[in-house]
Amino acid sequence: MNLSEIAIRRPVFTLMLMLALVVFGVLGYQTLPVNLLPSLDVPIVTIITILPGASPEVMESDVTDVLESAVNTIEGIKNITSFSGQGVSQITVTFTLDREINIAAQDVRDKVSGAVGQLPLDAEQPIVQKMDINSQPMLWIAVSGLDNRTLSDYADQVLKPKLQSVSGVGNIFMGGFRERMVRIWIDRDRLAAHKLSVNDVIAAIGRENLELPGGIIEGENTELAVRNLGLFESIEDFDRMIVATVDGRPIRLSDVGYATDGIADERGLGRYNMQPTLGLGVAPRSGANLVDVNRGAIDRMRELEDEFPEGMSWDV
């Protein structure tokens, strides 16, 4: 007895079987995950090293060449590319497809650790990381309409935490962000008149603008942690800072210069429709549904736009 004969002799059974296939097909379609890009493990490892103030030529000779020579001996390398810029070195190591990415990344870390002693003393610890395509921002939200300082502060303190709370969001990147920075301006002639140098000012800032643990006060039933609250809270605190004592008289920062409340130097620029803007890049968490994450982020921005400062706007 074949399938056709069973279907003809038992029409009710055949009908129920077809209905079951339709029902389970609809349920499966509704729960089917949708993703714009498949999950991939690309065998690429990057090495990023920072050396503040170094020229591209110095980064090439003292950092990039040293690290390239160290990792070049690793097995399974397909090619190595590098970029040396102002104060930054980036090396990209591409492995063959048959190389397991986690083992390859660990091999690179081992080689880089062995070469750290050959780098300049001022160089920061090299950052070795796998290239994870799935953790890259797949949705960019442009916000504009305010000055750089206000826009950056609002995006960092309000928009970023709200977007990070959306289900499935792993990280929020901010393109064109400029953080608050206190700038110290020194009058060279006034500094020389007091027989001081810029290094004295730098040492004073590191010594005075500091918060240290003060130990513990123990009682019969309580234990209190003591902190030395030494961080400056205003620009006036910087101006009143004592730089040094000369001939028994304290020399304050206001005697040789002044402090201003500003923002960091412009090292990146965001534009949307040819207008300066700040970009919020939404990166999904590993395993999250990209479509649902993007929809959730857009819905959250629609909820927040009623509370935006006057003149601020956003677009995708």
Identify the CATH number of the domain in which residue 230 sits.
Answer: 3.30.2090.10
Q: Evaluate whether residue 39 is within a structural domain.
A: no
Contact 170, 253 (CB under 8 A): no
Q: Evaluate whether residue 125 is within a structural domain.
A: yes
Q: What are phi and psi of 215, to 5 degrees?
A: 95, -160
User: End of a domain among 237, 263, 289?
Assistant: 263
CA distances in angstroms from 65 to 47, 90, 276, 286, listed in the order given:
12, 11, 37, 34
Would you state the pLDDT for residue 240?
Answer: 86
Q: Evaluate whether residue 19 is within a structural domain.
A: no
**pTM reported for the whole predicted model:** 0.60
User: End of a domain among 115, 131, 147?
Assistant: 131
Q: Containing domain of residue 196, as a range? A: 181-263
Q: What is the full per-residue pLDDT of the chain (316 aa) written as tens digits?
A: 577 777 777 777 788 888 888 888 888 877 776 665 566 667 888 889 888 888 888 888 888 888 888 888 888 888 889 888 888 888 888 888 888 888 888 888 888 888 888 888 888 888 888 877 767 788 888 888 887 888 888 888 888 888 888 888 888 888 878 778 888 898 888 888 888 888 888 888 888 887 777 778 887 788 887 777 778 888 888 888 888 888 888 888 888 888 888 777 776 777 777 777 888 888 887 777 778 888 888 888 888 888 888 888 888 8
Query: Within this chain, do residues 101 and 243 fall inside the same structural domain, yes or no?
Result: no
Query: Within this chain, do residues 112 and 151 fall inside the same structural domain, yes or no?
Result: no
Q: Evaluate whether residue 32 is within a structural domain.
A: no
User: End of a domain among 110, 131, 152?
Assistant: 131
Query: Within this chain, do residues 190 and 300 fall inside the same structural domain, yes or no?
Result: no
CA distances in angstroms from 2 to 6, 13, 19, listed in the order given:
6, 15, 21
Query: What gap in Å lies between CA 63 and CA 84, rounded to an integer?
Result: 9
Q: Evaluate whether residue 208 is within a structural domain.
A: yes
Q: Evaluate whether residue 11 is within a structural domain.
A: no
Nearest to 291 by CA among 30, 29, 34, 28: 34
Q: Evaluate whether residue 6 is within a structural domain.
A: no
CATH at residue 308: 3.30.70.1320
Half-sphere exposure of 158 (CA within 13 A, CB side): 15
Query: Within this chain, do residues 186 and 78 fall inside the same structural domain, yes or no?
Result: no
Query: Within this chain, do residues 116 and 150 fall inside the same structural domain, yes or no?
Result: no
* Number of other CB atoms surrounding residue 286 within 10 Å: 10
Q: Evaluate whether residue 185 is within a structural domain.
A: yes
